[in-house]
Each structure stands twice: as C-alpha cells, then as structure tokens.
Amino acid sequence: MSLSKNRKAALAKVEKDKLYAPVEAMNLVKECSSAKFDETVEVHFRLGIDTRQADQQLRGTVSLPNGSGKTVRVAVFAEGAAAQAAEEAGADIVGTDELMQQIQAGEFNFDAAVATPDQMGKVGRLGKILGPRGLMPNPKLGTVTNDVAKAINELKGGRVEYRADRYGIAHVILGKVSFTAEQLAENYGAVYDEILRMKPAAAKGKYVKSITVSSTMSPGVKVDPSVNRNYTEPAAE
C-alpha cells in the first residue's frame, strides 16, 4: 500500500522520542489519520502500578466535556416508575425477565447496562455473560442506581470507562478525528485529571511512566506527562 504524500509528510512530523503538549499531539494524530472513516482517538497511560495487587487497581468512569463521538446504546434493568423514567430518558432497551432472556440467548443490542438496586439479584445471575464483556452494572461506576435517568444521560453524553490492565496500562477513548484538536485536548485533560486524582495510595515510584495518543490508523504520539493544566495551549517556545 503506497502512502499518500500528505500522510508521508504527516508521519515524518512525528518525532519518535519527543514529548508533545496535548493539543500539539492531537493535531499530529489528526494529520496522520488517513482512513475513509471517522477514526477513534485513544489515549494510553502506562502507569507504575501492579494491578495484581488489590490495593493498586485503577478503574472508574469520567465524563468527557465534548462527548466521545460514539453512539451508546443503553439497556436498563428496571420495573415500574424506574422503567418509565428510563424510557423517558432515552434508554434503548428497558425490561427485566424478557431482557435477561435475550441476553441468555446471546442477543446484545446495547453497549452499556444500568440496573436499579432491586434488580441486581436477577442481574447478578448474568455475571458470567455480562462480566467478560464489560457490561455488568456496577455501583462503583454509577450504573447500579435508582436515578436511572442520570446514568443514561451520562452514558449517552460521553461518559467513558477507564481501567488499568494487567500491565498497568489504561486505554481510554478521547473522541473522533473529526473533533478539533482543542476538543480532543479538553477531553484528554478531563481523563488525565481523573487518572492523577485516582492514583492508588499503595502505588510506589513513578506513577505516570508514559502517555501516548493515537487514532485507529495513526502512529502513537507521545504526550508530555508534566503538562497537567492548560491542556489546549501549545508548548512554550
């Protein structure tokens, strides 16, 4: 596959060992994207944590100020007034037993699931199916709640999950290449602030080892971890 002149020029701009200011990194990722579709932009944090230790886990959710650019289909396990509230808030699927039967039959027409606490006895039985897919409602992530409307609005409005894997790397969606570099940098700032805030107390040594941003098809661009405010400003000369 031959590279277009523009893409070659963009790739040549990425200095392998240079640490870029967040907004500059986003500009480079945008310039390097070449796909015919609206590529997803992700950030990868390599952290100095040992996630095999219970006190060094890192998992949570963060709301992106400019949304994720992704259409999120939300399923809600609820009955009565909560089910009605879920429908009014724009849930894609609302139900209990019927929804559970669909899931047991292998039908997953949703990207996130919310449940009211009174449904968790039933939903818990689906743990082996929903858990590995990252779809299990979880009180820590705000998806087991009586305020289903709030949870739906947050999920559809750009709330994304972050979780450090067994190598201590957290991969988080920032948006799409069609976003402006400033919008991506603002979303990055919201995620980075949260990653720093949630540093496990037991973490030893250097916490943020490296940060890389990339789109679906672009090379990784290294971001300067020392920049922890004014995310939309270019680096000082």
pLDDT at 33 over 70: yes
Q: What ranges make up the beta strands (E) of 6-71?
A: 40-47, 59-63
Ordered by where they begin, the domains of the chain are 16-68+159-223 (3.30.190.20), 74-156 (3.40.50.790)
d(CA 76, CA 111): 11
Give the residue, 15 or 224, on which the prediction is more confident: 224
Q: Is the dihedral of CA 58, 227, 142, 132 positive or negative?
A: negative
Q: Tens digits of per-residue pLDDT, 68-104?
A: 998 899 999 999 999 999 999 999 999 999 999 999 9
Nearest-angstrom CA–CA distance, 31 and 23: 12
For the record, the structure tokens of 101 come out as 């039967």
Q: Please tell me the distance from the alpha carbon of residue 3 to that of residue 25, in angstroms, as a whole number.
A: 21
Confidence of residue 217 (pLDDT cuts 50, 70, 90): confident
Q: Enter the pTM of the model.
A: 0.80
Assess whether pLDDT exceeds 70 at residue 183.
Answer: yes
Q: Quote the pLDDT of residue 113.
A: 96
117 CB-side CA count, 13 A: 6
pLDDT confidence band for 3 (50 / 70 / 90): low
Q: CA 158, CA 72: separation in Å to the nearest integer?
A: 9
Rg, Å, the chain Cα set: 20
Q: Tell me if 41 sits within 8 A of 215, measured CB to CB.
A: yes
> What confidence tens digit (pLDDT) does each residue in 65-75 have?
999 998 899 99
Q: How confident is residue 6, by pLDDT bands cut at 50, 70 and 90?
A: low
Separation between Cα atoms, residue 133 and residue 162, nearest integer Å = 14
pLDDT confidence of residue 35: 75
Which pLDDT score is estimated for 68? 92
DSSP letter for 106, please: T
